[in-house]
Structure 1
């Protein structure tokens, strides 16, 4: 077989595997949105079967032969579409072939059952009800880390690299330490400032139906295509893309808290816009896939925080908000509303945290996950360890498990190594947004006029269109001219909240 024929067969195999993954994604989305609780056992077997089929197809020795044939020749120039796809296929193949099919299927089946148990345990504030599933999940993820790392280096690196190519525990720890050292004194200065927000204006009566209409209109305005997507309700907000033409968002509503659904929807819409603007013609190959979870998070945070919590955005959107909620916002000034949505104060829940303290939530999880995977922390001790670290970082105790170690779905889904990408995404977003401001000129003016198309087109041209053809670091360097750094985020936080709270 000649090299081009081998490449074409690899492409065909990759696209078929992508369709199987897409099918599993549909079932995973429905599990979190509409599946009745008693359907969990059957769903776990369905998803386990699909995971096994994908693994069987993607670890077929024939793929190794085809890759070797393509790599042996000089048919494809470095940096070409074909060469980039081959590099990523090789990376995926080498990782997948280290994992036994039995382990892949067991991780998938366990995740479905554990997520169902997590929903109940969280509702009942009962960590011990979830503990057996956490123990099983951690055991399986340690086995995965051992297999992928061949027993060399840090186990946690093996899990982290699956979500953020090229990143290591040491690199993350160094960036997070720099963030922590900047954030803690900033939080203290904000706490001591007399310019505190009246957040009660966000806790009035905001009917869920009106919130839904208002937040979905905002999502459409920034560029989420509702002809190719939809929004539903889930216990934990997420975005799930099945491929070109079908991207699903979820959110949740609290009729006495405006920010939860609005900013949650903006956040997930940012993820959805990324998925909707990946090159559809390359679906099923690395060139048509998102590069990493950190870059993905940068896209959601761009719209949720750097745009959605900015003063220019609300210069444009506050009057529509008053029209949508006249009985509760008619007596509120734009200044007071802007301060309220940017209120900074330590809180229990990560997804509701302010921009300044958010990274501390991630640091807590990052530290616990390393200890869980290394074996230094037993799953049975997670609740106590969480509560101790939380009080040390935030200054007050956890009241119950749903506000503590049970608040996130990730561990029930086996997503250990995922959390650091949230703070990395915030770093990337700050660096990319600063470059967009430079490239687009009057960015604040565009946002204040509700002209979001130039921002979205800039993101598509610089981020979305590349798929996985560059690593996260290469992508950031290509767009901004500098490697990823926490410095732009630190500068952004100091400027924005220094102005709001009138501190140096």
Structure 2
């Protein structure tokens, strides 16, 4: 078999796996947006069956033979070539799944949909007991999965590696220690000042106006609606079925406008990343997470969050953005915002006010929300915290870190969708994304001095093109730190993030 034929044979095997995973993603998207509640159990079986089929295709003898042929074929390629990386990552995924029984993968996949349905009901009734047994099973299966993968320092290491390869409980502890030391003085200084006016954010904002502005916002940032759509869900998310069909969701709170505005901006950042992956990588290993069995083109969850947090905070939560676009928002809500200036709106949406909800947190307290979740996940994984004791532990952590008393489970332990979908180990990627996003912006501004002028003028395509060529198009070709070193000259570094926050909140 020729060199090219060997690579094609492997790519055809991986393409089949990708097709199955994309079908799974369609069912998952539907379960979170349109599926009636009664469909949860059977939908769980459908997703589990497809997940197992994808795993079986990956571990089939035909795939192994194609992989061995491809490994020989790429020996002459450069170490960082797309072809060699495709083969290396496929081998890594195959060896990973050989250690995990198919029955465990299928059981975890089946649990997600029914657990999510239970979480939605529990959240709506603010009753953790409705969800607790499903979470206990999720933790049990996560421990079993970690043991199959293997770990040295802490069982949490195995789960984090699914989403952010190379990070461990110990490395996260070091990162959080440095961030906390830098964040707290900025936070204390900001909280010592008088709060800006924000009453107008809580007026009545009809959903149709919020949706219209959200559609305009996503398109303005560069999201391609010929290859995507915006829908409504309980907890916003982005999902891609290849770069040609990338969907985002948001939620609307009639009495709190920022929830949809910044939620839509956040998911748009995810969508831009997926839509920007090189067309040549479609249905290949470089646009498929073969370890986590997700059809995703971003190189890690942290890298993905760097894009969502970058667009949400550095662009849409900036003074220049609202100086330029606040009149459009007023046009949609003339009665609600007619007595508000662009500067007042900017100050309101950047106010520092500790709250219960992570996705609505200000930039200075956001990472404290992440840190307490990671502490809890570690304790759940090593057994030092029982699921039934989780609400009490959660409430105590919120009181300790934010000096708030949690009023109910919906505002506390039930606010995030992640545990219902089995994503234990994914929370730290949000803070990693904050750090990476700031590091990228610092470098891009230095490399392209005209960037700020284009952003001030509302020409966001300039930033998008910088990110497309430096980040998005590579898909999963480069690991997170490798990508950072190529762009910024160094690995993940919290200094630019702290400098960004210090500068922004000193005013």
| Mapped pair 1:336 → 2:337 | no
CA contact (8 A) 2:10 2:70 kept: no
Return the alpha-carbon distance in structure 2 between the equivalents of residues 495 and 80 of structure 1. Answer: 39
Alignment of 1:162-181 (within 5 A): 162-181=162-181
CA drift at 1:98:
1.1
8 Å contact from structure 1 (residues 279, 287) kept in 2: no
Report if the CA contact (8 A) 2:44-2:111 is conserved.
Answer: yes
Count of residue correspondences: 497
Deviations 1:266-286, CA, capped at 9 Å, x for gaps = 110110011111112211223
Secondary structure of the equivalent of 2:225?
A: coil
- 1:435-474 aligned at under 5 Å gives the runs 435-474=443-482
Give the match for residue 385 of structure 1. 393
Match runs of 1:5-154 below 5 Å = 5-72=5-72, 74-149=75-150, 152-154=152-154
How far apart are the structure 1 equivalents of 2:198 and 2:94?
51
Quote the offset at 1:72 in angstroms. 4.3
Partner of 2:183: 183
Q: Secondary structure at the match of 1:431?
A: helix
- SS across alignment from 1:248: strand
1:475 to 2:483 alignment: yes
TM superposition shift of 1:475: 0.4
Using the size of structure 1 for normalisation, the TM-score is 0.96
- Paired residue secondary structure (2:404): coil
Contact 1:286–1:467 at 8 Å: present in 2 too?
Answer: no
Residues in 2 aligned to 1:411 and 1:244: alpha-carbon distance in whole angstroms: 27
| CA deviation string 1:342-390 (max 9, x = no partner) | 0111100001101110000000000010111111111111111111111
Deviation at 1:171, TM superposition (A): 1.6
Stretch moving more, 488-497 or 431-440? 431-440
Instruction: State the alpha-carbon separation in 1 of the partners of residues 177 and 60 from structure 2.
Output: 42
For each residue in 1:127-150, what CA deviation from the matched residue of structure 2 results, as whole angstroms up to 9, or x when unmatched?
11111101111000000000001x
State the secondary structure of the residue aligned to 2:90: helix
- Deviations 1:453-476, CA, capped at 9 Å, x for gaps: 110000000001111111100101
TM-score by length of 2: 0.96
Alignment of 1:354-369 (within 5 A): 354-369=362-377
How far is 1:261 from its partner?
Answer: 0.5
> What is the alpha-carbon distance in structure 1 between the residues aligned to residue 446 and residue 324 of structure 2?
22
Shift of 1:102: 0.4
Give yes or no for contact 1:316–1:447 (8 Å, CA) kept in 2. no
Determine whether 1:498 maps to 2:506.
yes
Unaligned runs of 5+ in 1: 500-504
Work out the CA distance in 1 between the residues paired with 2:255 and 2:72. Answer: 62
What is the root-mean-square deviation of aligned Cα atoms in Å?
1.3
Q: Structure 1 residue aligned with 2:435, among 424, 427, 452?
A: 427
CA contact (8 A) 1:115 1:409 kept: yes
2:425 is aligned, of 417, 439, 461, to 417
1:7-55 Cα distance to aligned partner (Å, 9 max, x none): 2211100011001000000000000001000011110111011011011
- 2:223 corresponds to which residue? 224
* Residue aligning to 1:502: none
Deviation at 1:239, TM superposition (A): 0.4
Which region of structure 1 is more displaced relative to structure 2, 66-75 or 488-497?
66-75
2:310 to 296, 302, 305: 302
Match of 1:157 in 2: 157
Contact 1:294–1:421 (8 Å) recurs in 2: yes
- Cα distance between partner residues in 2 of 1:125 and 1:206: 24
For residues 440 and 302 of structure 1, what CA distance do their matches in structure 2 show?
A: 17
Contact 2:322/2:343 (<8 A) preserved: no
How far the C-alpha of 1:3 sits from its partner, in A, is 4.6
How many angstroms apart in 1 are the aligned matches of 2:23 and 2:45? 14
